[in-house]
Each structure stands twice: as structure tokens, then as C-alpha cells.
Structure 1
Amino acid sequence: MTVETTALDTSRWTPPAGWPAMSRRQCREILTAPGQRFEMEEVEIRGVRLRTWKNAPPSLRAIALAGRTHGDSEFVVYEDERVTFDGWFRAVATLAHHLQELGVRKGDRVALAMRNLPEWPVAFFAATSIGAIIVPLNAWWTSAELTYGLSDSGAKVLICDDERWERIAPHAGELPGLERALVSRAATPLSPPASALEDLIGTPPDYTSLPPRELPDVSILPDDDATIFYTSGTTGMPKGALGTHRNITTNVLSGAYAVACAALRRGEVPPEPVKKTGLVVIPLFHVTACSASLMGSVVAGNRAVYMYRWDPEKAFAIIEREKVNATGGVPTIAWQLLDHPARDRFDLSSIESIAYGGAPAAPELVRRIHAEFGALPSNGYGMTETMATVTSHSSEDYLNRPDSCGHPVAVVDIKITGEDGETELPPGEVGEIWVRGPQVVKGYWNKPEETAECFIEGWVRTGDLGRMDEEGFLFIVDRAKDMIIRGGENIYSCEVENVLYDHPAVSDAALVGLPHPTLGEEPAAVVYLAPGKTASEAELQAWVGERLARFKVPVRIGFSPETLPRNANGKILKGELQHLLDGATEKATTGEVRPPSSG
């Protein structure tokens, strides 16, 4: 089917004369030519021949060695702690040897459960540099969920912070395969199987005093197992996506390719790499932060600033103090940076880019980032099963197509399929998005049936609905399970949510389906209003009705007193919104629908 789309107001950005200087196809031909940095080659991976980056690092071990070359440059800043690349590598090598002394061998699982701390990238690279499979666990998980992840992965060693160990320790007896736990920043004495991580590598400010060591001598191939990232599904038990070294190292060049392509599109020579400072505000256990961001940062020698907990005003202070060049994470964070009343009190002129992924973004967000920050917006599409980046969207291309999630990176193939899962649909037609490329993971850990269902001859079925235009730009329409069917008419959540986001008072929005005895279901919305803004249910319904077909107008609108609940990857937990709609129903019957005064 062909999706109906709302005509976007692009009057706020007018392409400069001569843009684009060349087509995407011409960019690709230039950048991937033989001998160039982004040259590609075909490699057979699990029986399927795929395009790969010829010059991508062959393993995470190779990325660690590249990071060491940045020496005394700062790598991580966390509150008053500063760690250089040299100090980080000393800690990585020291911990890698200790893990081997604990009996960790190639293929063993090492779990990592902690908030964004300087110890996180140390543990990650120490384990993967000796061929172990790192298992980054969601630090937001409860005791039961963390125990599930440890049990499901069969982790032999756990590296965690004190808060996570407090949750896990009562269940240690349920984990016979867990032999040791190395705990950082423990506030109380530890007892077996736990011991202090600091006893092995010291504290982050002291890493530079560790003796210099080489990494243990372990042979690692690009398609060896490297990671198990758990999916962020909003229902059911998470599945462990088993990734290889090639999967995660592919992103090093995928990100750089997007930068080079943007330069060619504006008629410029791709810039030489320059070290930047990024404010990392999304968890490193998410593939966006780890795969799409951390990998390239280590190779490039960029500096990363971590926060204890997200707070917009504290973020402003950090941006000003550390001269941060890039930040973002998920669209919610970008909205809060724009709408926070304290923004004008800080010097944010160092910001060059605000990037995000993990969830759809409204076109209005793209326009406002450019208009109010003077920064270039950046977005992308991917999932845990694709180790993050499938498409990249930035700079003028994003301003020109603010409702798209971008163009596939050069080593990626995308197809839109019909309901039969076989028919490939033409441009403009909506269907399920299938992805193929060297970054697609091997499958789900110990789940052969689910693997066979989702991974087919090199392709992964994403479960997302989308369409592609004639130039190959991808447009996400909805999650297949989130699409609302009202009396046989399809309603795509993203389309209605984007219209709500365009309202000047709306800062957060979600569309859900409500059961209906004859129509099957009807659309309803929950919104969060920006601080100091007001709007009524009737006003927002009229706003949508003026821009979309009447059957797409939410029959109910609930107002949330805070930003909508999300999982760690930025996806709205729509199942938790029902109580807000129930409240809206009660108030609507008395004609007293009112948004919270605080927004």
C-alpha cells in the first residue's frame, strides 16, 4: 500500500544554491573507489556474500590498540575524574591478564553491569581483547532481570558497580555458573564470590600509574563471537543478540562515511579527522552508545564526558565547561535541551551537532535544532540486531528530509517487503523493512527457533514498517505491532505523533490503540506539554484534524505530568500509558480536561 503523508513545512530551511553538489550515487562511487578509505570488498559471511569495509578494524582488540596511540589525550571525563587513553589502555591490559588468571578463555561470557563510568570501557575492551564474549546488561534492570541476563548468557565472570551488585548478590546462589564478581566503587565490605575491582586495576585517576603491559596474545578473527546485547523489547523476555567483532567494528567506518558524504553533497572536500568532545548521556549498554559512538571515538581519539544521571541544567553546565561539540542520544533528550528554561543562561556555542537514534523524531525537532542551536542535526536507524547503524541522516540531507531516517550506509542493503515476506515492494509502498549487511548479528543466543524466524539468508526482519523514496531514503512509518487498524483503515503512529509534535505546546507524544466493538480499535494519544505551555484536548484534536484525515484524529487525549515513560533505549513504553487515558476519559465526560500546570 502507499502511505498518505502530511505535506511538511520546509519553509524554515531553504537549500543553498547548488546543493546538492552531487547525488548519493556519485558520493558512493567517489568514496568507495579502489584505494580510498571507504573501499569495499565482498566477503562470505555464514554462507552469504556481503559487501564490507575493506579498511575496517578486524576486531575489538585492534580498536583497543588504535586507542592506545592517542596517549595522553583525555579519553573519559566523569565528574572530577579524568582518564587519558594511555591510562585507559594500561587498565585494559592489566584487567585482561587478570581475567585470564581467573580462567576466562575465548568464548567465555563476561557480563558487564554498571552505569556509565570510566570503568565501563575498561571492562568492555579487557574482555573482548582476549576473545571473551562481553555481555553488557541493562543497568536499569531489576534484580530478577539482571539474574535472568546472567543465567541466560551463562556468564562466568561479572564486572559491575556497587548498585548492581546489591541487586544481584541476593540471587548469587541461583547462578552456579557465575564464578566471580568484580565490583567497582563498593561502599561496604565484599564477600565471595565478589571482590573489589580496584584491587586489580586501582581507581580511574590512578590508571596512569599502572605498569605498561601488552594485551595477552590471543588470535581473534573478524567473525568470532564478541558481544551479547539484550534486545529492548517492551514486552516479553529480552533476547540476547549474538554479535561478532565484524558486526561492531563495521560502525567505525559507517559513521565516518556519513560525514564524508555530507561534505561531498555540499561541494566540499571531506574533512580530515579532528578530535571532538562528546557528552554521552545514553547508557553504554545500548548499541547506539557502544557500537555507533564508542567504537569510532576510540579510533578517532575523541573525548567522552559521562554524567551520573541525566539532568538538562547540569548538561548545560558541562557543555559550557568542557566545550562539548556533540551530544544527543534519543529525541527526548534533544527536546529537553531545546525547551529547558535555563538554556539561555549558559554558553552552548561549542555545540556543532545534536545526534539521536533509538526512536522516531518529529520533523519539528530537526528544524529547531538548526534554528535555535545553529547545530547540524543527525539521526539514524538501526536496532540491537543490526548492531546499531543501518541508515545515517545528517546535515543538509536531514534538514531537507526531516521526516526520513536517512540513506543506507554503503555496505547495507534494505528492502521493503509485502505481507508474504517475499515480494519486494517498489518505492513509495509501505511494508516490513528487511536489512542485510556485515553488521547484522548472527542470531539470538540459545534461541534457534526465534533466530530462524527473524534471520533469513543474511537478512534480518526488523518488524518495522517503512517505505523508501526514489533516491533510496528510508521513512519509518511504524512498528508493525503499533499500527492501529480502525475499521480497515491503517493508522501509522509516527504520522499522528509527528503532527502532535508540531504543535507549539507539545513536547512528547505517543499514539495507542483503544478497543472498539465495531471498528476494532480507535486511536488515542498521550502528550506531555512543554514547561509553561498549555493546550486542551479539543485544541489538539482540532490541530490533528486540520492536518490529517478525520479517522486519524485521537478520540481521547491524556496529559502526562512528566515526559512519557521509556526504556533505556528511548522507546516509549506504551503499555504504561493506559491510566493516563482512563483519567482523560473521566475528565472528558465532565468537560474538564486540563493539562498539568507545570507542563
Structure 2
Amino acid sequence: MSLTLCDLLRARARAEPEREAMAVSGTGTLSFGAWEQRSTAVAAGLLRRGVLPGERIGLVFGNADWLEYAVAFFGVLKAGAVAVPFSDQLGRADLEARLAHCGATLVLRPGELPTAEGEPAPPGAGDLAQILYTSGTTGRPKGVAATHGNLAHGWGGRRRPFAHSRHLAHAFPIGTNAGQWMLANAIGAHPAVVTLGRFTPGRFARMIEQYRAGTVFLVPTMAIELLAAGAHTRSDLSSVLLLGSAAAPLPGRIAAELTTAFPKATIANYYTSTEAAPAQTVMLYDPRRPASVGRPATGGEVRIATATGEPLPAHTTGEVWMRSPTATRSYYGDDAGTGEVFRDGWIRMGDLGYLDDDGYLHLVDRESDVIKSGAHKVSTLHVEEAVYQHPDVVEAAAVGLPHPALGTAVAVAVVGAVDHTGLRAFLQDRLAPQEMPLHLVTLDSLPRNHGGKVDKRALREVFR
């Protein structure tokens, strides 16, 4: 019999009812026993209100509401309904469009959770559990549907992950794939999961010190901000033995600097997508392969192939495909899109890359971000890696802009006190002529979505 996250929560609540499962720094904690009891009451309350199996229920919560969100999410699942998580930072029009797309019949917010007495029937592993919307940084956001079995895959074994830690610290937003991964960690991993209501480098570093967190997860943006602010020099981060970066590529220079900021930590880069989870690759930082995102983990597979799925040899750039170790996800209400991306257990990642002789995956670019400049194809990731090597660059992002002769030209936005003439001279020996930025701009910050990814569509508008 396949387990569900509801099964796992029930088992931990019975075995360790008083044990802390989650905490929001400065706000409160949630034990396994309370999580189980409160979410069961919410499920009963939803059923009393007439919620039927398979109904989609929107969950709109802020990062300060992680504990109540955790209760609401499991209340929806236990009621047999489908949870559709959103950050409260999402714009009203975008939220309404997503709710309409999935046909949500109810929206829950902090302080609005119904409760009642009762013990709902448990959902099955093949039942739909969650619809999570993609970030939409490269196109229209899509609702990715996952079953209970997909969400629970890999959890429930005898050895709980991250056993070296009493606390796992993160700052991932609600409504993201990384945030949902932390929710599963709170049930299936050894440490209690702690987060904070609003990320700032100083607050995050102080939280790590306060909880003596042995495991830390962040997105590259947060790592860059933490290093730039020098927060690691004002807090004791020596408890951290594993620092994981997820949700976007981690620049090689930043990974190297993190090894100094977290002197006892192994730096790990995780690569997956909302569509591919739980398949992923993991890369422990290696100066010999600073830009690699690693090899497959959690029973999945990776291959480089053509658009039709034909495998390509090592060192040949092609589409990145990942194979799920369990039932794959799908696009909700989009059979055509599902057929394009999900094929026989394999998922097209939308990235271009290659495998080296040892099977390590190297990303070249998002397929939609590749700049076709004249007769050349330019990788924005390669351009960004070169720009990041300049010591005065704090952040960088490259995009393509229309050009009357080349078709598309390279444009780079940087954050930091960088002289443009000096930066161009610095890049002369690091980039080919077609890779050199024709446009340079310095910004106070890069435009990002609520998940921390650079919004390249918004960045193009900045240049325009």
C-alpha cells in the first residue's frame, strides 16, 4: 500500500505527539500532535460545509502564516479536496486568473479555517492532492497537478533525512515548489523546520544562530544578499553542516564564497522543477565542476535528448529530460500541454544542457532564454557566469533585446558599483565577441517574482 503525506503525519503524531514539527521564528511552533488534530478538525469543517472530493480549494497565505498554512493544507488533503497554494504577495488579477483556471470553489486565508468534529476517510495515493502554479517567468503560468502518491514518494523510510540537525532553516515562500518541499521535510525529515516571516540577510543569519541549525536551504538570490550584506560575519553560522541552494542555478563564484561564509558546511545545489518533482539532481560543490548541477538523486534519471526524446551522446548540447521515480505530474486542464512535456515517465525540463563523461549535468540555458545573435546562439547563463566573476558585481542577469542587424543582442543588468567601461574590458578575455553585452545597465535590484527567480520578461521591459 502506497503512503500519503496524511499517513506520514498521522504516524509521527502518534509516535511523537509533543515533538516540534515546525516553527516560525518569533511567532510560534507547531507540534506533530497539534498539527494532526487541528488539520483533522479543518477537514471535518470543510466536509460540513459541503466540500466534495476533488474540489479545488485555494490557500492564500503569507510567510508569517506558515504554521496555519500547514494546518490548512493538510485539512484540505484530509477532506479529499485538492490544495492550490498561493503566496499572499501574488497580485489580485493573477490570483483571480489562477483560481478561475483551476475552478476553485473556496479560498482559505489566515483566520478563516472552518473546524468541526469528525474523522474524515483518508485519501488514496492515486487521488489528486495539489495544483501548484509555475512561476511564469518565461511564459504563461501553468497549474501542475500532483497526486498524493507523487507528493509522498521517498518519505517514510527508516532513516530520516538530515539526521545531523535538530533544526532545518529555510526562507522559501508559500506557493512554490521549494516551499512545498520544506512542508514535506517537516513531516518526513529528522529536524524541525524553522522559517521566518520576512527574509532579510541579517534576520536569516540570526535565526540560524539562534536555532543552531545544522541544515539550511535558500535560493541563490538569498545567498547573494546574505554575502553582499556581510551577515555571515555578524552571526555564528558554524552549526551549519549542509547548505542547499534550490529553485535557480547557483553561480560558481557565489558557491565558492559560501564555502567561506559557512566554514563547516557542504554546499549542495539542487535542480528540479515543479513539473519534474520529486525527480532531481544534486551537486555537492566541486571547484572542478563549478557550474554543474550534479547527477540524478532520489531514484530518478537524466538524459540529454532531441525534442522527440532521442538520446544524445556526452558533451552534446540538447534538451534536458528527467525521469520521475514515481507517477509523474501533469498540467491541470491541459491535455495538449501535458502531452508535450510529460512522456512515458520522462519530463521535458525546458532547459538546454549536456552531460559530461561522468554523468554530471551542465545547464547551457533555458531554451526560451537562448539569444540568437546573428549566426550564433548565446547562453545567458554563460554570460552571467562571466559577469559574476567581476569582484564588484553583486548580481547579474542577461537577456536578449531586438537588434536591427543581429536579430537579437545581448543585454546585461548588474547590481553593484560597477564601472561599465571597466566591466566590458574585464569581459573581453572571458566572452566571445557575439557574447559581449551590447547594452549594460546598473539597477538597485533585479526584478524577481515572489519565488525569488529573476523575471526576465520584466527585465526586458526595464531595458525598453
Q: Which residue of 2 aligns with 1:319?
A: 208
Contact 1:437 1:458 in 2 (8 A): yes
Give structure 2 stretches of 5+ with no counterpart.
Answer: none
Of all paired residues, the percent bearing the same amino acid is: 30
Partner residue of 1:132 out of 70, 76, 81: 81
Partner residue of 1:569 out of 447, 451, 460: 451
Partner secondary structure for residue 433 of structure 1 = strand
- Structure-to-structure mapping, 1:322-333, within 5 angstroms: 322-333=211-222
| Alignment partners' CA distance in 1, 2:262 and 2:431 | 30
Partner residue of 1:412 out of 294, 300, 319: 300
Highest RCO, 1 vs 2 (Cα 8 Å, sep ≥ 6) = 1
Cα gap change, 1:486/1:278 in structure 2, threshold over 3 Å: closer, same or farther?
same
Could you report, residue by residue, the CA deviation over 1:431-463 in whole angstroms, capped at 9, with x for unpaired residues? 111222145644211112222222223322221
Could you report, residue by residue, the CA deviation over 1:393-440 in whole angstroms, capped at 9, with x for unpaired residues? 23xx5455221111112521222123x524321011111112221456
Partner secondary structure for residue 482 of structure 1 = coil
Could you report, residue by residue, the CA deviation over 1:470-502 in whole angstroms, capped at 9, with x for unpaired residues? 221111110111001112111111111011112
- Structure-to-structure mapping, 1:29-428, within 5 angstroms: 58-68=3-13, 69-78=15-24, 79-116=26-63, 117=65, 118-161=67-110, 184=111, 196-197=112-113, 200=115, 215-218=119-122, 220-234=123-137, 236-252=139-155, 273-291=163-181, 293-374=182-263, 375-387=265-277, 389-394=279-284, 398-418=286-306, 420-428=307-315
Contact 1:135 1:229 in 2 (8 A): yes
Partner secondary structure for residue 79 of structure 2 = coil
Q: Which residue of 1 aligns with 2:440?
A: 557
Deviation of 1:320 (Å): 2.0
| Alignment partners' CA distance in 1, 2:409 and 2:375 | 11
Partner secondary structure for residue 295 of structure 1 = helix
Could you report, residue by residue, the CA deviation over 1:147-192 in whole angstroms, capped at 9, with x for unpaired residues? 122222122232113xxxxxxxxxxxxxxxxxxxxxx2xxxxxxxx
Q: Which residue of 1 aligns with 2:407?
A: 520
Contact 1:243 1:387 in 2 (8 A): no
RMSD: 2.4
Partner secondary structure for residue 383 of structure 1 = coil
TM, length-normalised to structure 1: 0.72
| Alignment partners' CA distance in 1, 2:17 and 2:418 | 54
Deviation of 1:142 (Å): 1.4
| Alignment partners' CA distance in 2, 1:379 and 1:100 | 41
Cα gap change, 1:315/1:518 in structure 2, threshold over 3 Å: closer, same or farther?
same
Deviation of 1:274 (Å): 4.5
Tell me the matched-pair count.
458
Partner secondary structure for residue 506 of structure 1 = coil
Contact 2:138 2:456 in 1 (8 A): no
| Alignment partners' CA distance in 2, 1:408 and 1:294 | 22
- Structure-to-structure mapping, 1:506-517, within 5 angstroms: 506-517=393-404
**Matched AA of 2:41:** T
Contact 1:334 1:354 in 2 (8 A): no
| Alignment partners' CA distance in 1, 2:210 and 2:5 | 32
Greater shift in the superposed pair: 477-486 or 515-524: 515-524
Could you report, residue by residue, the CA deviation over 1:313-347 in whole angstroms, capped at 9, with x for unpaired residues? 12222222222223232101011122213442222
Could you report, residue by residue, the CA deviation over 1:340-368 in whole angstroms, capped at 9, with x for unpaired residues? 13442222222222212111111111111
| Alignment partners' CA distance in 1, 2:273 and 2:254 | 21
Cα gap change, 1:61/1:320 in structure 2, threshold over 3 Å: closer, same or farther?
same
Contact 2:132 2:274 in 1 (8 A): yes
Cα gap change, 1:105/1:579 in structure 2, threshold over 3 Å: closer, same or farther?
closer
Q: Which residue of 2 aligns with 1:445?
A: 332
Contact 1:247 1:438 in 2 (8 A): no
| Alignment partners' CA distance in 2, 1:440 and 1:85 | 28
| Alignment partners' CA distance in 1, 2:49 and 2:254 | 49
Deviation of 1:237 (Å): 3.6
Could you report, residue by residue, the CA deviation over 1:115-146 in whole angstroms, capped at 9, with x for unpaired residues? 13210111111211232211112432111221
Cα gap change, 1:400/1:298 in structure 2, threshold over 3 Å: closer, same or farther?
farther
Q: Which residue of 1 aligns with 2:425?
A: 542
**Matched AA of 1:501:** Y
TM, length-normalised to structure 2: 0.92
Contact 2:215 2:241 in 1 (8 A): yes
**Matched AA of 2:430:** R
Contact 1:387 1:439 in 2 (8 A): no
Contact 1:230 1:240 in 2 (8 A): yes
Cα gap change, 1:383/1:504 in structure 2, threshold over 3 Å: closer, same or farther?
same
| Alignment partners' CA distance in 1, 2:169 and 2:389 | 27
**Matched AA of 1:277:** H
Contact 2:150 2:278 in 1 (8 A): no
| Alignment partners' CA distance in 2, 1:300 and 1:114 | 23
